[in-house]
Amino acid sequence: MTLVVDVSRRLGAFNLDARFETSGRLTAFFGHSGSGKTTLINLIAGLERPDRGRIEIDGRTLVDTDERVFVPTHRRRIGYVFQDARLFPHLTVRQNLAYGRLLSPRADRWADITRIIELLGIGHLLDRRPARLSGGEKSRVAVGRALAASPRLLLMDEPLAALDEDRKAEILPFVERLRDELGIPVVYVSHAIAEVARLATDVVLLAGGRAVASGPADEVLAHLELSLPESRDETAALVEVVLEGRDPDFGLSLLRSPAGLWRVSRLDAPTGARLRVRVRARDVMLALDRPTRISALNVFAATVLGVTETSDAPDALVDLDAGGDRLVARVTRQTVATLGLAPGVPLWAIVKAVSLDGTAAPGRAPLSGLAPTGPIARS
């Protein structure tokens, strides 16, 4: 799916003026509160009209103010999961799902309800009414009802916002299954970076009503602070690893990626699990000589790909290639000068900590078995 957006919309004092294109399997709209995320998905869903502009999905125009095209919401075939589940309270789960199905024209129905029920793990809830469901169960049923309408695109507006951490952890694997097994493109609104890092294949960053960056998740998050200076500490590389096993002597988990072997605190996942770890720029140090006798366990040979000055004057971001893995380090501009950091310079990257968001790598996810661990593994 390719989603093309170029729209303006004024709401009181707020001006949305966003332009981007995405073909992601799961595109996250990430931005702080009030940045325009909900306004944008309301425009895509057809719940609001832009003052100016155009929205297209796979070449099909949904809105074009110049051409006076406005496809009404019910003809767009877009599923919408709201922050609150908005289930019909007087209907059972089964009837809520059946209602979703009724919304789709017979000829366009691809949704297999049995498969959706299995995928979301809601088979045991079918005869209950929403009042007898937990928050997490309501969210899963709301996703099921949206899918039952055989949408071409699923919009999810902070579907986990009302849930506590345990319930969130329960739902995230289901979102991963949607992304990886159902093949339906998802736009997922969030202001939680760990969720975005875990789920997104692509990211659109919103700030003050503008799309300030968009592209593959790893590229956007590696330069996050260039577009959102306030998210400085979250600037990070995403590294796909395989859990190779456990170090018998010290109980550390061993992760393998093209850069080499990573040692992190014990991770509760099956051997062979494919995971995505987040390596923050602030947690990577650089050395021209191979460091010896240091406390950090994860030291990788790398080459400088580029140096970018940040808006914070003393700092720079250094992009690195570590055997095929992309890493990013934040150092001072003085360090750039002293070490002579420039494209092609070989060096050593010392990783001080790795974030484990209970993350399954997009497209190659194990379906279960990964319980989220503490957020940071010191190494």
Ligand X SMILES: Nc1ncnc2c1ncn2[C@@H]1O[C@H](COP(=O)(O)OP(=O)(O)OP(=O)(O)O)[C@@H](O)[C@H]1O
**E-strand spans in 182-314?**
186-190, 202-207, 210-216, 236-246, 253-257, 260-264, 274-280, 284-287, 298-309
Min dist. Cβ of residue 201 to ligand X (A): 21
Min dist. Cβ of residue 51 to ligand X (A): 13
Min dist. Cβ of residue 152 to ligand X (A): 23
Min dist. Cβ of residue 22 to ligand X (A): 17
**34/135 with CB nearer ligand X:** 34
DSSP 282: G
Min dist. Cβ of residue 281 to ligand X (A): 25
**36/372 with CB nearer ligand X:** 36
Min dist. Cβ of residue 157 to ligand X (A): 7
CA distance 62 to 71: 5
Min dist. Cβ of residue 204 to ligand X (A): 12
Say if CB 34 and CB 84 are below 8 A apart: no
DSSP 33: T
The amino acid at 300:
F
**HSE (side-chain half, CA atoms, 13 Å) at 281:** 28
**191/223 with CB nearer ligand X:** 191
- Scanning 36-186, the segments in alpha helix (DSSP H) are 37-45, 73-76, 93-102, 113-120, 135-148, 165-177
Tokens 């971001």 label which residue? 317
**3/322 with CB nearer ligand X:** 3
CA distance 56 to 38: 18
CA distance 50 to 39: 10
**229/245 with CB nearer ligand X:** 229
Nearest to 44 by CA among 80, 10, 13: 80
**25/37 with CB nearer ligand X:** 37
Phi, psi of 194 (to 5 degrees): -65, -40
Min dist. Cβ of residue 224 to ligand X (A): 17
Give the interface with ligand X as residue ranges (CB under 6 A). Answer: 11-12, 14, 31, 33-39, 191
Min dist. Cβ of residue 86 to ligand X (A): 16
**208/366 with CB nearer ligand X:** 208
Q: Is 80 left (phi over 0), alpha (psi -120 to 50) or beta?
A: beta
**35/214 with CB nearer ligand X:** 35
Min dist. Cβ of residue 48 to ligand X (A): 9
* Beta-carbon contacts of residue 179 (< 8 Å; ≥ 6 apart): 25, 26, 186, 199, 201, 362
The amino acid at 111:
A
**37/54 with CB nearer ligand X:** 37
- Scanning the chain, the segments in alpha helix (DSSP H) are 37-45, 73-76, 93-102, 113-120, 135-148, 165-177, 193-199, 217-222, 224-227, 333-339
**33/292 with CB nearer ligand X:** 33
